[in-house]
Amino acid sequence: MNAIPAMADLPKATTTTRRQQIYRLIWRWHFYAGLFCLPFIVWLSITGMIYLFKPQIEPLLERQYAHVTTGTSQPASAQVVAALKAVPGGVLNAYELPTSRDAATRVLVGKGPEIIRVFVDPSSLRVLHVVGESDRFMRVIFYLHGELLLGTAGSMLVELAASWTILMLLSGLYLWWPRTRHLGGVLYPRLRHGSRTFWRDMHAVTGVWVSCFALFLLVSGLPWSKSWGGMLHTLRQTYASTVTTQDWSIGSAHDRAIAALQNAPARAPSMPGMTMPGDADGGLIGMDYSALDRLVPTVTAQKLAPPILISPPSKFAPTWAARSDAGDRPLRVDLVLDGATGTMVSRTAFSQRPLLDRIIGYGVAIHEGQLFPPLNQILGVFTALGMLTLSSSAVVLWWRRRPTGSIGAPPAHAGVRYPFVMIGLLVLLGLLLPLLGATMLIVLLLERLVLNRFATARQFLGLASASNLPAD
């Protein structure tokens, strides 16, 4: 619960007992966590709500390509060649299996680390639209949500904000924990006790109802981050018992690196059906895509969950392959194909993936609202609106009671020491969330060694005097 309340909200007896001093200390961490996280919470809540409805928004934005022909479709290889001509120097990244006979065919064309989506009329082979994958509306929202369109730096900033939000929610639950038998202000807001009580209850009660959902979304989003997700990727690669491709992104830089490998065709001219014809400019188009015509019926017969992508051999994967890219991750299936014969070599279902991949897959599907829609989407919207309510009520609480000459943080008590249990929990949290641990240490050192030695900073931040700090 991202409170940034003023001193007026503290109990009058907060300096009388050690327990109350510890309560004030936790409140102080809660205040500064909320102060830092609040803008990010608003941003992530809004962009997250938009992305929840990707299955509804994307078809709406591309509705003009849903019914483009009534004629007989040309072979898949011919459609690919038409798409490649629209992107000079491009190679086939993936062919998306059409979901209806009259819809435009989607062909993903690779060019270096970029992927371009080409919409082709399957009957006339006329190119209808060309757009970079990273320029599509929902992909822009994805990167706005995950890295603020700032690449690696943005991903780490979002991870840092998410880590501090986890601390804020956990400390908020401690501060909220009922100390009376009354449910008013605990599980429901009191509406007849004045505006001050109303805003306090809106903050606390909303927080307790959404905290568990918010904590799940925050934790399930960490595998996508550059720092935490990168460390998880390294551990996964080091200790995995089987070699499987990671099924989630850890940022735009990682996506571009994977795309570069996918867009580098495998060179095996001695193999049957593997030729490297040049285009009109003498450049490389890629392999002989007639194999695609043999593979489309095979993949169609597997009845995978759409969208279904068929990819040629590349430096990323040495054989033809197909995969379901369904938002509901447990429905995803990977196929290895033989381009020469048009047969399926192997099939890997979600249930056959490593345990870690399955856990993350379920988390990602819930995070994106795709595991059990529309209820999953409704819960996501409920959580996002709850976090926006927390943020707005926190601002109101702080603005109405902000003291003059101070930021409004609960003042530090010179004699209070961190309990061993609290130190242990903070250390554990810092180890599990390294960016949080590093910045917590920086904050502690700044307070103790720098900021509290200046009277103006000490007064503004509510710090204890350096001369009154307890010895270590």
From the first residue on, what is the mean pLDDT of each consecutive set of 10 residues in the chain (472 residues)? 45 56 84 92 97 97 95 96 96 95 96 97 97 96 95 95 96 84 78 83 91 96 93 84 78 91 70 41 56 97 97 94 96 96 96 93 97 97 96 89 77 71 89 94 85 77 56 40
Burial class (CB in 10 A: 0-12, 13-18, 19+), 286: buried
Query: Which tens digits make up the pLDDT trace of 39-79?
Result: 999 999 999 999 999 999 999 999 999 999 999 999 999 99
**Predicted pLDDT of residue 277:** 41
**Predicted pLDDT of residue 282:** 33
**Predicted pLDDT of residue 267:** 59
The answer to the question of residue 394 being in a domain is yes
The answer to the question of residue 316 being in a domain is no
The answer to the question of residue 399 being in a domain is yes
Could you tell me how many residues make up the chain? 472
CA dist., res. 108 & res. 325, Å (int): 13
The answer to the question of residue 359 being in a domain is no
Query: Which tens digits make up the pLDDT trace of 156-197?
Result: 999 999 999 999 999 999 888 877 777 777 788 888 777 888
The answer to the question of residue 355 being in a domain is no
The answer to the question of residue 49 being in a domain is yes
* Number of domains, the chain: 1
CA dist., res. 433 & res. 420, Å (int): 20
Burial class (CB in 10 A: 0-12, 13-18, 19+), 415: exposed
**Predicted pLDDT of residue 1:** 53
The answer to the question of residue 158 being in a domain is yes
CA dist., res. 45 & res. 50, Å (int): 9
Domain that residue 162 falls in? 7-53+149-191+375-468
Cα-based distances in Å from 434 to 19, 158, 161: 29, 14, 12
Q: In what order do the strands lie in the sheet with 320-324?
A: 127-132, 114-120, 105-111, 91-96, 308-311, 320-324, 333-338, 343-349
**Predicted pLDDT of residue 322:** 97
Amino acid identity at 434: P
pTM of the model: 0.87
Amino acid identity at 73: S
CA dist., res. 313 & res. 315, Å (int): 7
Cross-strand partners of 321: 311, 336
The answer to the question of residue 241 being in a domain is no
